Amino acid sequence: MPPQTADAPTQRQQALLRNPLMDLLQAVREQGSIAAAAKSLGMSYRHVWGELKKWEQRLNQNLIIWEKGMPAELSEFAGKLLWAERQAQARLAAPIESLMAELERTFAVAFDPEAHLLTLYASHDDALVRLRESTARQSLHLDIRFCGSVDAIRALNEGRCEMAGFHTLSQPNDKSLSAVTYKPLFKPGHHKLIGFARRTQGLLVKAGNPLNIRTLEDVVTGRFRYVNRGLGTGTRLLLDELLMNQHIKPEQLRGYERLEPSHSAVATCIASGQADTGLAIESAALASGLDFIPLVTENYWLACLKSALDAPPVSALRQHLAHADWQNTLQGMPGYQTNQSGNVHSLRKELPWWNLKPRKQPLEA
């Protein structure tokens, strides 16, 4: 198979999800006229005009507003339609990535008998998508299934994958929600951590930050509309951790119960005006034309069983993560830094819930 380019997943997703009408509407919005839209799409004016009229009849709604001497504009209905399609794409991005990974694994088995295959359940992350493209060029195929961090670790423990991706704040203490959530899922000496990345999470807001949102406290006091992530995701756990640390009750956050399945879906929700802010990664903000207010830096880990560390696929992945080419790629992504990528880290050191000194027993009388 030919090498994948960095933009390949986006192109494939659009090919799978895109309705031609959306391309026409987007071109009119950007170009301001039917003629300019047609030129940008490499189509004739007559074809674009005819397609728009056909869709107006089919939907029984006006799509384009013309006023003499003014640029062509989308009707309110067309604008809502365009945003709804973007939201659908954002919500389906993670499942489609998982499907693409499964298809690539199938082709790898069929055409490259020497390829390494590694199944990875992981919390959704843009750098993992880029990693899958990068390793595929080296005959290491990552079958990535995106899910919540908790579900990913459970999949590892149940033997459904060789590796799990999850993220936590650096050095979470034994009273933290991270400790309560993750400690029962890990066992020192049985599990190992492999460094993947450090990444920044923060609040996504409209360009220019018109509401002047800087903190979660601002969101609460301003009664701004928040959009949340689902139970079991690392970002939902992070939010609950931050709320607890700041003595904010979940019910004080307007929109706490509104859920989206990924960082990109949160960003699209905010960009479309359905919410004012939400917690996500910086790359999701930039992709949707939003501003990013950094709040915390966290570690993204890849966990595996100790017995799998020397298995050929895991060894190949560790070597790839430690290579300068990959680390330069990671450093070039907004909001990401290397974190001794590819190195094996101590579970007790990085998640130090097991290092508590035992309490002294009272002396017997």
Q: What is the pLDDT of residues 131-155, one digit of tens each?
A: 998 998 888 989 888 899 999 999 9
d(CA 74, CA 62): 9
pLDDT of residue 153: 97
The Cα-based distances of 93 to 7, 14, 145, 233, 285 in angstroms read 14, 10, 12, 16, 15
Total domains in the chain come to 1
CATH number at 332 reads 3.40.190.290
Which burial class, exposed, middle or buried, applies to 129 when counting CB atoms under 10 A from its CB (0-12, 13-18, 19+)? buried
Mean pLDDT by 10 residues, the chain (365 residues): 36 51 83 86 88 86 77 80 72 67 64 78 92 88 90 96 95 90 94 96 97 97 96 94 95 95 91 94 93 97 96 95 96 94 92 69 47
Residue 32: inside a domain: no
- The pTM score is 0.72
In sequence order, the β-bridge partners of residue 229 are 260
Domain of residue 283, residue span: 115-350
95 lies in some domain: no
In degrees, rounded to 5, the angle at the alpha carbon of residue 36 between the alpha carbons of residues 30 and 38 is 100
Indicate whether 1 belongs to any domain.
no
What is the structure's pLDDT at 8? 35
In a domain, 67, yes or no: no
Q: d(Cα 177, Cα 236) in Å, to the nearest integer?
A: 11
| Angle value at C-alpha 139, between 134 and 144, nearest 5 degrees | 60
How far lies 172's CA from each of 6, 18, 30, 184, 257, in Å? 34, 42, 46, 15, 25
Least Cα distance to 236 among 224, 228, 244 occurs for 228
Per DSSP, the residues of 101-141 read HHHHHHHHHHH-TT-EEEEEEE---HHHHHHHHHHHTTTEE
| 274, two tokens | 């359905």
Question: Is residue 20 included in any domain, yes or no?
Answer: no
Measured between alpha carbons, how far is 128 from 124 in angstroms, rounded to an integer? 8
Could you tell me if 312 and 116 are in contact, meaning their C-beta atoms sit under 8 angstroms apart? Answer: yes
Strand pairing category for 259-260 and 226-229: parallel
What's the pLDDT score for residue 59? 85
pLDDT at 279: 98
Nearest residue to 284 via CA among 295, 301, 270, 298: 270
In a domain? residue 358: no
Q: Tokens for 166? A: 């999850």
Q: Is residue 246 part of a domain?
A: yes
